[in-house]
Chains A and B, each alone.
Chain A
Amino acid sequence: MNTEKFSYDNTIVKNFAYATMFWGLVGMLVGLIAALQMVFPELSFNLPYTTFGRLRPVHTNAVIFAFVGNGIFMGAYYSLQRLVKARMYSDVLSKIHFWGWQLIIVLAAVTLLLGYTTSKEYAELEWPIDILITLIWVVFGWNMFGTILNRRVQHLYVAVWFYIATFITVAVLHIVNSIEIPVTFMKSYSWYAGVQDALVQWWYGHNAVAFFLTTPYLGLMYYFIPKAANRPVYSYKLSIIHFWALIFLYIWAGPHHLLYTALPDWAQTLGTVFSIMLLAPSWGGMINGLLTLRGAWDKVREDVVLKFMVVAVTAYGMSTFEGPFMSLKNVNAISHFTDWTIAHAHVGALGWNGFLTFGMLYFLLPKMFNVQLYSKKLANFHFWIGTLGILFYAIPLYWAGFTQSTMWKEFTADGYLRYPIFLETVTQIIPMYAMRALGGALYLVGAIVMTYNLIKTVKLGSFVSNEDTEAAPLNKHEKEHAGEHWHRWIEKKPVQFGILSLIVILIGGLVEMVPTFLVKSNIPTISSVQPYTPLELQGRDIYIREGCNTCHSQMIRPFRSETERYGEYSKAGEFVYDHPFLWGSKRNGPDLHRIGGKYPDSWHYNHMDDPTSMSPGSLMPAYPWLLDDDLDTSDTGAKIRAMMKMGVPYPAGFDQVANVHLSNQSKQIQMNLSKEGIETDANKEIIAMIAYLQRLGIDIKGQNKVDFTTK
């Protein structure tokens, strides 16, 4: 049979490998700083750029899209070429993909630190960057499908299915969740409001975990574990069931992030049911990965690559066991808004994604440089310090989450909250935060040691940039066998396969979202709920810029412990003008939904200047620049117009007089402050912030009557 000579492109794999290591260190370092700020608040340095509210999104974006993202591309570019026996479709597309992705990462880091954010978790980047992401993602897909269509094997191995599903689903998620209306060059408002925005965001957020942190890594697992162990996957049939069940079920589970919120009950229940069902395919996959090593466990003792991969798959099993249980309402009532969630996420991130990435790096770099690993000893050291790091990270946070949650819920015999001051429940768990930071530091040390080890390895070897190989061409006109099964047909046709995957994930998305979108037309809004005034809107945007929602929820759940502490529970109708929603997902500080009217204006003024002046021992960063900086009102009209376009009922022409309205309200707050002994100009950012905070949650009390007349 004729064979064709060709070569695999290793340069692109090497580039992504270096980027993975570099961004991994950056992302983990930022995470460590943020973790230390929870113990030493002075590490905020009183600077806008280094507050927790801005660092946390930098950390999450860096580890998800920079570290794991580059890791996905590294592993996928290596394995795809070999699984389909073809060089990447275009070296130019590979390069555009690589440099485009790095550019996105740099832009993300810079803009997030500068306070440009949409506030939507893991989708914080503003609209110009969203468009760039879309373009680069298309380049990736184009390159991948081109390669698959040029293949020299007939059937697509299951790993390739995972890559295809990843490409398609991430594209859908990104586009749907990023529908926003640009106001200025770097400012936009989410098209969705309140409950709908929350549902779309967590449909996205949950599936970012599913289709960015899980499915591509499962594809990598199905390639690299058999490769490293030199034996085929335990059950190929199980891998197929794993694939279809996983992508079908995952897409439904998003609402489990919104249990006990104002989201319709049926959607919450649907999320829970599908989350529980997810346990089966997840564990099927984990068992399939681990059993691939049956009869080869002795290799695990010797081979550091396998060690990392075994722990990775085990961590996958643990977090996918825990996830469904956290989706039960009774468990979620305890775990939600606490550090339990953070611990859960990090078992997945540090264990599953981190360790599988490390395993791939230790496998790929020596192989591509045609050399042995520089030091097995250092790699083993990395393995153990990394494992210890995970334990030191997760265990204290589980403890912290459980402790804090039970403190929130504890009542005295007389029926009062035992810990009415929120801060008490935070200071209680600071030692746990210190231990968590230690765990993170250990993990980072391991990653630094790995980087050193791999740099040494690379220096010893010589890089094979084009790996020569040969294979028989695929006869494209090969006759279909009579009676061939549909599935066999599908797996030979990548495009049809992609379409089927798309249909499967869209079913879940549509069924979940369509009814919720109808809700708006079905529910009468609360008549006393009014749009934000221009000043409040500006204040809200400062709240978003500073990432206040990173630590403060605006969602009081219908528990007695919460209504006692915060006030009336939150209703769906209260958020109809919230573009975007700001419910939050973690309470490092108290909920703010009913903060309006709770304290005088001067309290907020002093608290923003120095939180410890009002609550001694507070971990909150100080925001002194809000007191000094002038409020930018040049975009007020544009903001009002954008809101009107999305159906917020300001009277016609209100955008023209919005700044007059704004300045009147500012003067009122200035006077209030003056009465309380604080002299300040009316045009400072703090005035807008106070206006927004004092507005929160008061509408349903019927105390808020805003005059929106245009004269």
Chain B
Amino acid sequence: MKFRNYLESITGIEIYPLISLLLFTIFFALLCLYLWKKDKTWVTKMKNIPLEQ
């Protein structure tokens, strides 16, 4: 039995990593877009939370 080939017996295996990469890329792109459009007052407010008390 050739063990190195057993992956080929899983049908559609190559789609798994592709889906995962796609999911991450879309999520990441949306996140960056959102942050890019974010206003400055919110950023200032958020980053000062630890210094408030």
Residues of A within 8 A of B (CB): 79, 82-83, 85, 153, 155, 157-159, 222-223, 226-227, 230-233, 236-237, 240-241, 244-245, 248-249, 252, 262, 264-266, 269-270, 273, 469, 485-488, 504, 507-508, 511, 514-515, 518-519, 522-524, 526, 571-573
A230 touches B51 (CB 8 A): yes
B34 touches A79 (CB 8 A): no
B50 touches A248 (CB 8 A): no
A232 touches B3 (CB 8 A): no
Count contacts on B: residues with CB < 8 A to the other chain.
33
CA distance A244 to B33 in the complex (A): 14
Among B24, B38, B47: residue with most chain A CB under 10 A: B47
Mind listing 20 A-B residue pairs with CB under 8 Å?
A82-B50, A155-B45, A222-B50, A232-B51, A233-B50, A237-B35, A244-B28, A248-B28, A264-B6, A265-B7, A266-B16, A266-B17, A270-B20, A487-B31, A511-B17, A514-B16, A519-B10, A524-B1, A571-B3, A572-B3
CA distance A487 to B27 in the complex (A): 12
Nearest chain B CB to A406's CB is how many angstroms away? 27
When C-beta atoms are compared, the residue in chain B nearest to A85 turns out to be: B53
B7 touches A264 (CB 8 A): yes
Q: Which residues of B contact A155 (CB under 8 A)?
A: 45-46, 49
Nearest chain B CB to A523's CB is how many angstroms away? 4
Q: Which residues of B contact A241 (CB under 8 A)?
A: 31-32, 35
Among B1-53, those with CB < 8 Å from A are 1, 3-4, 6-7, 9-10, 13-14, 16-17, 19-20, 23-24, 27-28, 31-32, 34-35, 38, 42-51, 53
A236 touches B20 (CB 8 A): no
B31 touches A573 (CB 8 A): no
CA distance A231 to B50 in the complex (A): 9
When C-beta atoms are compared, the residue in chain B nearest to A233 turns out to be: B47
A573 touches B3 (CB 8 A): yes
A157 touches B3 (CB 8 A): no
B1 touches A573 (CB 8 A): yes
Q: With A248-B27, A270-B17 as known contacts, state yes or no: A237 contacts B38, CB within 8 Å.
A: yes
When C-beta atoms are compared, the residue in chain A nearest to B4 turns out to be: A265
When C-beta atoms are compared, the residue in chain B nearest to A159 turns out to be: B50
Q: Which residues of B contact A270 (CB under 8 A)?
A: 17, 20
B13 touches A266 (CB 8 A): yes
CA distance A522 to B20 in the complex (A): 22
CA distance A400 to B16 in the complex (A): 39
A522 touches B49 (CB 8 A): no
Q: Which residues of A contact B1 (CB under 8 A)?
A: 523-524, 526, 573
A522 touches B9 (CB 8 A): yes
CA distance A487 to B34 in the complex (A): 8
When C-beta atoms are compared, the residue in chain B nearest to A230 turns out to be: B51
A508 touches B20 (CB 8 A): yes
CA distance A508 to B17 in the complex (A): 10
A244 touches B31 (CB 8 A): yes
> Looking at the complex, which one of B10, B20, B46, B53 makes contact with A252 (CB distance below 8 Å)?
B20
Nearest chain A CB to B45's CB is how many angstroms away? 8
Q: With A519-B10, A522-B9, A523-B9 as known contacts, state yes or no: A485 contacts B49, CB within 8 Å.
A: no
B32 touches A82 (CB 8 A): no
Nearest chain B CB to A151's CB is how many angstroms away? 11
Q: Which residues of A contact B27 (CB under 8 A)?
A: 244, 248, 504
Q: Which residues of B contact A269 (CB under 8 A)?
A: 17
Q: With A227-B51, A519-B10 as known contacts, state yes or no: A507 contacts B4, CB within 8 Å.
A: no
Q: Which residues of B contact A273 (CB under 8 A)?
A: 17
Q: Which residues of A contact B23 (CB under 8 A)?
A: 507
Q: Which residues of B contact A487 (CB under 8 A)?
A: 31, 34
Q: With A264-B6, A264-B7, A511-B19 as known contacts, state yes or no: A157 contacts B50, CB within 8 Å.
A: yes
Q: Which residues of A contact B20 (CB under 8 A)?
A: 252, 270, 507-508, 511
Nearest chain A CB to B53's CB is how many angstroms away? 5
B46 touches A83 (CB 8 A): no
A249 touches B24 (CB 8 A): yes
When C-beta atoms are compared, the residue in chain B nearest to A231 turns out to be: B51
* 9 further contact pairs, Cβ within 8 A, besides A232-B44, A266-B16: A158-B46, A233-B47, A270-B17, A504-B27, A507-B23, A511-B17, A511-B19, A522-B6, A572-B6
Q: Which residues of B contact A515 (CB under 8 A)?
A: 10, 13, 16
Q: With A236-B43, A266-B17 as known contacts, state yes or no: A245 contacts B28, CB within 8 Å.
A: yes
CA distance A241 to B48 in the complex (A): 18
A232 touches B48 (CB 8 A): yes
CA distance A599 to B53 in the complex (A): 69
B6 touches A519 (CB 8 A): yes
When C-beta atoms are compared, the residue in chain A nearest to B8 turns out to be: A522
Q: Which residues of A contact B16 (CB under 8 A)?
A: 266, 511, 514-515
Q: Which residues of A contact B49 (CB under 8 A)?
A: 83, 153, 155, 157
When C-beta atoms are compared, the residue in chain A nearest to B9 turns out to be: A522
Nearest chain A CB to B2's CB is how many angstroms away? 10
CA distance A240 to B27 in the complex (A): 13
Nearest chain A CB to B11's CB is how many angstroms away? 9
CA distance A519 to B24 in the complex (A): 25
Nearest chain A CB to B31's CB is how many angstroms away? 6
